[in-house]
Amino acid sequence: METFIQQLINGLTVGSLYALVALGYTMVYGVMKLINFAHGDLVAFSAYVGLTIFTQFYGSNALTLVNIVIVFSLTSIVVAFMGVLLERLAYRPLRTAPRLSAVVSALGASLVIQNGIMLIWGPNMEIFPSDIFPSTTWNFGGVLISYTQFVILALSAFLMVSLYLFINKTKIGTAIRATAIDQDAAKLMGINVNRIVMIIFIVGSMLGAIGGLFIGVYYRGLTFDMGWMYGLNAFIAAIIGGIGSIPGAMLGGLLLGLFNAMISGYISTEWAETFTFILLIIILIVRPAGLLGHNVAEKV
Amino acid sequence: MNNKTTITIAFLAIMAFLPLLADSAWLSIGITFLVFAVVAFSQDIILGRAGVFNMGHAIFFGIGAYTTAILNVHFGLEIIYTIPFAIIFSAIIAVLLAGPIIHLKGDYFLVATIGFNIIFEQVLSNDIFGLTGGPNGIFGIDVIRIFGYELFSDTAIYYIAFGLLIITLFIIRNLDNSKYGRALYYINKDEIAAKSMGINVPYYKLFAFALGASIAGVAGSVFAIQYSAVSPESFNFMQSVMFFAIVLVGGSASLPGVIIGTFVMFVLPELFTEFKESRYLIFGAAMVLTMILRPNGVWPVTFGNIPKFLRPKKGAK
């Protein structure tokens, strides 16, 4: 039973990382109907940027809370800027082009960011310092929760609730939802679609940046091509929840994290990815619109 | 004799005489080019002609290569007899994988095929049933023997690959002129209209998928013969992305387009080895730029033998 609860906690932690990244995918897909393949590499980029800021400015001493907040905000701002740049250069010129062109452009942008990381930071693995958060671990009757896990769970929950309120309760959120439903109608209602797309890339990239920093803090090892795998997992999470749906991405992320933890805990770590993709294919066959998505009939 | 035939014949003539001029380094680049051109054409049948978003094409290339390697190394079968198995296995697995999901809309199909490719990589590198040799792959594949003659020189392999390319082009030409080719053309243009005209959309899509997969399977066999070894990283997800990009960057359903795409993606890197570090960076930027400047690919799309009055007007989607 303790192993089960332990895997549950680990799964929720990994799941909230997936959820943070998945939100970026699902928001872009919801509005632009485009798989933003470069999002995973932005996440990897944010981990590297965060690492550089940590080591450059603060050395490897234990950090105060204020410093951590500064590093997190600085990194999110840099990555948000990258996200907006990405949209301007690679996606905006293709808004009306055939859909496959945008997919190829996204793949190209992903290659550029991935190899840009390799050229800047080198092809070898970089290690995140281990003492960013205190190494305290709480023991609840055999179940261990580390300080890092607690921060990840708490901050992710806070960010997701804020995003939910932002999308559902504010004027900009309403505009985002309207644009996702029908771009042309939204334009007629006086919504500046270009601005909405920019806001989506800012918010998505910032959430991805936090996710990337957490990946660094939690897993510690960074490689330049890690964006692919985290990106794919997060994207699968978005599909499981129902792509385009924001609560769906959160739910999908948590479920996928739990699923991964249970598979690695009880069945096999060698075949973990295979199980993930089998789950994805089953979901696609049984319920292509995802758990919380809606099936939209094709219009002629 | 129209423009398209002239280009094809000129290209084939140049490729036929290349071994007379080339040294061994150039010859092996030539083989690589021919093999990948065949794979690119087979992907073009699936992606360019049928409009099926297949991002797992390296799977079928890999199944062909591994079929040849496993049957030859573990079961001692002559190379020449492994090729029919490569064709059949690729086609069967293509139907088994794509069958249940062929009805999915573009992006979902694309993600599912990415999934298949990642599973395929894991199957290969986890040494399933002790057959695939794990992360190092399989070494020591025999030379090809036809009627007792050993064909081990690069020139011989070059002409095998060249023959395969000609067969592939022949198949594509016949496909374009057939009932199947016309059905695929209409499906690609407007799936709902095609369906309402009574075209069995899943059947034709699956047909294109299996045809493309089996051609990629043969190309995989030749690839295994060329290097006399196979390993998982030649068939990973990155390769599939390359096969996907070749067709769309070059120009889908266009012979010169696919040739240009193959040349840029697989031959140029061999020539400019000093840029190897930043090779993918340049590729990525080139992919973005090409799509912005020419969303339909470098080379104008050609439509096979569609009557003139049926061709879409300029500017129509």
CATH code, domain carrying A124: 1.10.3470.10
The answer to whether the Cβ–Cβ distance between A271 and B126 falls below 8 Å is yes
- Contact status, residue B20 vs residue B155, Cβ threshold 8 Å: no
Helix, strand, or coil (residue A293) = coil
Alpha-carbon distance A109 to nearest alpha carbon in chain B (angstroms): 6
Predicted local confidence at residue B303, as pLDDT:
44
- The residue of B101, B111, B192 whose CB has the most chain A CBs within 10 angstroms, and thus the best one to mutate to test that interface, is B111
Give the residue from B294, B305, B199 showing the smallest Cα distance to B249.
B294
Residue A248 within a domain: yes
Nearest by CB to residue A277, choosing from B106, B118, B295, is: B118
Distance (Å, whole) CA B262 – CA A172:
46
Q: Please count the other Cβ atoms lying within 10 Å of the Cβ belonging to residue B189.
A: 16
* pLDDT per position as a tens digit, B58-73: 999 999 999 998 888 8
> What pLDDT, on the 0 to 100 scale, is given for residue B306?
45
* Averaged pLDDT for residues B75-99: 89
CA distances to A53, A75, A247, B186 from A160, rounded to whole Å, are 25, 19, 9, 45
Is the Cβ–Cβ distance between A207 and A75 less than 8 Å? no
Rounded to whole angstroms, the Cα distance separating B214 from B218 reads 7
Task: Provide the percentage of residues in chain B whose pLDDT is more than 90.
Answer: 21
In angstroms, the first-to-last Cα distance of chain A is: 54
Phi, psi of A143, deg, nearest 5: -95, 125
Q: Do B192 and A285 touch (CB under 8 A)?
A: no
* pLDDT value at residue A58: 66
Which residues of chain A fall short of a pLDDT of 50? none
Average pLDDT over chain B, rounded to whole? 83
Integer-rounded Cα radius of gyration of chain A: 19
pLDDT band at B1 (very low <50, low <70, confident <90, very high): low
Read off the DSSP letter of residue A143: E
Closest residue by Cα to residue B115 from A102, A235, A226: A235
Q: Given this model, what pLDDT does residue A143 score?
A: 80
**pLDDT on residue B302:** 44
Question: Highest-confidence range of A129-138, B40-49, B131-140, by mean pLDDT?
Answer: B40-49
For the record, the structure tokens of B317 come out as 């989607």
When pLDDT is averaged across residues B183-202 and rounded to a whole number, the result is 88
Query: Where is A187: in which H helix or E strand?
Result: helix A183-188
CA angle, corner B90, sides to B150 and A230, nearest 5? 115
Whether A291 is in a domain gets the answer: no
Condensed to tens digits (0 to 9), the pLDDT of residues B200-229 reads 989 999 999 999 999 999 999 999 988 888
SS (H, E, C) B89-110: HHHHHHHHHHHHHCCCCHHHHH
Amino acid at A218: Y
CB contacts < 8 Å between A and B, how many? Answer: 120
The whole-chain average pLDDT of chain A stands at 87
A161–B contact, CB cutoff 8 A: no
Strands (E), A45-197: 126-127, 137-140, 143-146
Say if A116 is an interface residue toward chain B (CB within 8 Å): yes
| Nearest residue in chain B measured CA to CA from A95 | B292
Residue B301's region, left for phi above 0, alpha for psi from -120 to 50, else beta, is beta
Q: How far apart are alpha carbons B250 and B265 in whole angstroms?
A: 10
Residue A79 and residue A204 in contact, taking contact as beta carbons nearer than 8 Å: no
Predicted TM-score (pTM) above 0.90: no
Distance CA A248, CA A245 (A): 5
Check CB contact of A288 with chain B, cutoff 8 Å: yes
Angle at which helices A226-241 and A246-262 pack, to 10 degrees? 120
Q: Quick one: CA torsion of B176, B177, B178, B184, rounded to 10 degrees?
A: 30
* Residue A295, in any domain of the structure: no
Residue A292 within any structural domain of the chain: no
Range of the domain at A40: 2-286
The reply to whether A112 touches chain B by the CB within 8 Å rule is: yes
* Contact residues on chain A for B281, CB-CB shorter than 8 A: 111-112, 115-116, 119
The nearest CA of chain A is from the CA of B284 a distance in Å of: 4
Cα dihedral across residues A262, A265, A266, A267: positive or negative: positive
Residue A236: list chain B partners with CB under 8 A: 111, 115
* Contacts with B248 from chain A: Cβ below 8 Å: 100-101, 103-104
> Could you give phi then psi for residue B71, rounded to 5 degrees?
-65, -35
Q: Is residue A299 part of a domain?
A: no
Q: How far apart are CA A159 and CA A161, in angstroms?
A: 6
Number of domains in chain A: 1
Amino acid A172: pLDDT: 92
Judge whether residue B307 has pLDDT over 50: no
Closest residue to B126, CB basis, from A99, A270, A278: A270
Backbone angles phi and psi of B151, in degrees to 5? -105, 85
**Closest-CA distance of chain B to residue A288, Å:** 8
* Residue A275 touches chain B, beta carbons under 8 Å: no
Residues of B in contact with A103 (CB under 8 A): 53, 110, 248
pLDDT at B106: 80
CA A120/CA A98 separation, integer angstroms:
33
DSSP for B189-232 reads H-HHHHHHTT--HHHHHHHHHHHHHHHHHHHHHHHHHHHS-B-G
CA distance B276 to B279: 5
Pairing of strands B149-151, A143-146: unpaired
Q: B275: nearest CA in chain A?
A: A119
- Taking CA–CA distances from A242, the nearest residue in chain B reads B108
Which of A116, A107, A111, A117 is CA-nearest to residue A47? A117
Measured CA to CA, the distance from residue A250 to residue A157 in angstroms comes to 10
Answer yes or no: is pLDDT of B99 > 60: yes
Place of tokens 């073009």: B44
Q: Enter the tokens of residue A223.
A: 């490689």
pLDDT the model gives residue B300: 62
Task: Decide: helix, strand or coil at residue B297.
Answer: coil
CB pair distance less than 8 Å for B100 and A271: no
pLDDT value of residue B214: 94
In DSSP terms, A222 is beta-bridged to: A126
State the alpha helices, DSSP H only, in chain B: 3-21, 24-43, 57-73, 79-98, 106-125, 154-176, 179-189, 191-196, 201-227, 237-250, 255-262, 268-271, 279-293
pLDDT value, residue A300: 55
Buried b (16+ CB within 10 A) or exposed e, A152-184: bbebbeebbeebeeebeeeeebebbbbbbeebe
Q: Does A109 touch chain B (CB under 8 A)?
A: yes
Q: What is the pLDDT of residues B290-302, one digit of tens each?
A: 888 777 777 665 4
